[in-house]
Amino acid sequence: MERVLVSACLLGRRVRYDGGAKTSEDELLATWNSEGRLVPFCPEVAGGLPVPRPPAEIEGGAGGAAVLAGTARIVTPDGDDVTEAFLAGARRALDAARASGARVAILKEGSPSCGSLRVYDGTFTGRTTPGQGVTTALLEQNGVRVFDEDDIAGAARHLRDR
């Protein structure tokens, strides 16, 4: 039974920047949870950030790969650079995936850590841009396939067809 790394907030854990959760009601995710297949993880908390914490976005609409390459930063609305915490959390997420044998992850869309299709553009105006968060980029670079919470069926197909 293959394990799946999953954003802890999708399982109801109150780890988001605002102290909330984004609990998924997906039946397949609930089944996998009851089977003990899920590895809940919050890279931002694992990287040392508190709950609650200021929101953060990748500067200039860049993606997680640019953060990993050192050409972009993750900042708060006040301009505080929280890049190192995001990088540490991404590395710990990869460690957790490797330790559990997870080759698939289901992560929260839009997050500067976990976004797989889009991230906020760095202006703190609610606008998004296509791209990945730093954790997603690191996982994908290391062979862990990332899906967002709206494509859990796609994750299941990927697991089945491997």
Domain borders along the chain are 6-161
61: pLDDT strictly greater than 90: no
CA–CA separation, 93 and 122 (whole Å):
23
Average pLDDT, the chain: 96
Query: Which pLDDT does position 153 carry in this prediction?
Result: 96
Estimate the crossing angle of helix 152-161 against helix 27-34, to 10 degrees. 60
- Mean per-residue pLDDT for 7-34? 97
Rounded to whole angstroms, the Cα distance separating 96 from 108 reads: 17
Indicate the helix (H) or strand (E) that contains 141.
helix 134-141
pLDDT beyond 90 at 48: yes
pLDDT in tens, 79-136: 999 999 999 999 999 999 999 999 999 999 999 999 999 999 999 999 999 999 999 9
Q: What is the pTM of this model?
A: 0.97
* pLDDT (average), residues 133-145: 98
Average pLDDT over residues 2-25: 97
